[in-house]
Amino acid sequence: MQPDVPSPNDPHMRHMRAVFLAVITGSFLFLIPWIAYLSVSLPTRRTVSNWRYAWVGFDGALILAIGITALCAWRRLQVFIPWAVATATLLCCDAWFDIVLDWNSDDLTGAVATALVAELPLAALLLYAARRMIRLTVAIAWRRAGRTGPVPPLSRLSLVLLTEHDAGDGDHRDQSGRRDLP
The secondary structure of the chain in percent helix, strand, coil, rounded to multiples of 5, reads 65, 0, 30
What is the DSSP-derived secondary structure letter of residue 159? S
Instruction: Map out the domains of the chain as residue ranges.
Output: 11-36+54-144
Higher pLDDT, 82 or 157: 82
Contacts of 126 (CB under 8 A, 6+ apart): 69, 84, 85, 87, 88, 91
Are 153 and 139 in contact by the 8 Å Cβ rule? The answer is: no
Q: How confident is the prediction for the chain on average, in pLDDT?
A: 86
Q: Predicted confidence band at 162 (pLDDT cuts at 50, 70, 90)?
A: low
d(CA 123, CA 92): 7
Rounded to two decimals, what is the model's pTM? 0.78
Whether 161 shows a pLDDT value over 60: the answer reads no
Helix residue spans in 42-79 (DSSP H): 51-74
pLDDT in tens, 4-15: 767 777 888 889
